Chain A
Amino acid sequence: MLINQDLILLLLPVLILQLILLVIAIIDLIRIEKANGPKWVWALVIIFINIIGPIVYFIFGRRP
């Protein structure tokens, strides 16, 4: 069976890290005054694109 307890335990740290990345990106998006583009689009990008979404937001989303 592909999905068993061992696999979940093994991947748990990775999933948690992904979740932290997503959460801090969202917190940052809420905190900054103006994003590089509409905020709701960035929110969708961060939430729905796994790993890459938050990275792209941190690189291109928050221009001073």
Chain B
Amino acid sequence: MQWYVIFKKEILENWRNMKWIWVPIVFILFAVMDPITTYYLPKIMDAVGGIPEGAVVDIPMPNANEAILMSFNELGLLGVLITVVIAMGVISGEMKSGVYELILSKPVKYTNYVSAKFMSLALIVFLSIFLAVVAGWYYVSLLFGSIDFTKILTSILFFSLYFALIIGIVIMVNTWVQSPGVVAFLSLIIIIALNVLTSIYGHIFTWSPALIGDYIGEYLHSGVLSTEIWYSALMAVIFTFACIQFAILTLKNRALQ
């Protein structure tokens, strides 16, 4: 009950500061841009000119799977960036402005407070990813060729788990410092470290959540869900829970001091 009250307050706030509108639109634009520009690149080059007479520019046209992977990659970069930015002030900003004390002067459980914040953010981001990938799929189907929609849905589900982890990390960092800018900076460092470590030791950490994007590529290509993608998804869920628990613990300890 209490959880629902905080959750509703968060949803309302995100509605007032327009996150419900601009985040999905921005995600859709990110996902759609790459397939379209790739498709029209040869024509753009023709129109702009500057290529010497007789030179043959042969840019290989990607197939449908490669094209939709471009959308996923774009979301994996810029989408993550936007996610970090919209989550950076979610607790730290309230601590700074004093709203945090106001809320917790009432008997509000930390678990409810943190998890409601997490869910409200996750809802926006999941919706945005869904709309973005479906929009990307629409353009890829028009320009490159058809892809099975169930494949896309499955990919979206796994991809969302990666984003849940991102939100978890940002919320955890939120409880450490009070400046939203520093939160974004630290979160990005953690996320980049996760990705760098994974790309170096990828053969050992085959369960790393940062590999979900790669496994989605394999899945789209082969149509078979590998065991690794399940492990990665499981680890993403576990890490997300750990981050949230850690955030709750940090807040509790701060209250005791």
Interface residues of A (CB under 8 A from B): 2, 7, 10-11, 13-14, 17-18, 20-21, 24-25, 28, 51, 54-55, 58-59, 62, 64
Q: Cβ of B82: which chain A residues have Cβ within 8 Å of it?
A: 55
Chain A: minimal CB distance from B220 (Å): 23
Q: Tally of A-B residue pairs with Cβ under 8 A?
A: 45
Minimum distance in angstroms from A46 CB to a CB of chain B? 11
Number of interface residues of B (CB under 8 A): 25
Grouping DSSP codes into helix (H, G, I), strand (E, B) and loop, the B interface class, with mixed when no group exceeds half, is: helix
Of residues 76 through 111 on chain B, the ones whose CB sits less than 8 Å from some CB of chain A are 82, 85-86, 93, 97
Bound together, the chains give a CA A61 to CA B207 distance in angstroms of: 39
Residues of B within 8 A of A64 (CB): 93, 97
Q: Is the CB of B85 within 8 A of A59?
A: yes
Expressed in whole angstroms, the Cα–Cα distance for A56 and B43 within the complex equals 31
Top 8 A-B residue pairs of the complex, sorted by shortest distance between their CB atoms: A2-B47, A21-B25, A58-B22, A17-B25, A59-B85, A28-B18, A24-B21, A24-B18
Partner of A14, one of B32, B43, B46, B97: B32
Q: Does B26 contact A (CB under 8 A)?
A: yes
8 Å CB contact of A51 from B29, B93, B135: B29
B29 CB contacts on chain A under 8 angstroms: 14, 17-18, 21, 51
State which of A2, A25, A58 has its C-beta within 8 Å of the C-beta of B44: A2
Q: Chain B residue with minimal CB distance to A62?
A: B17
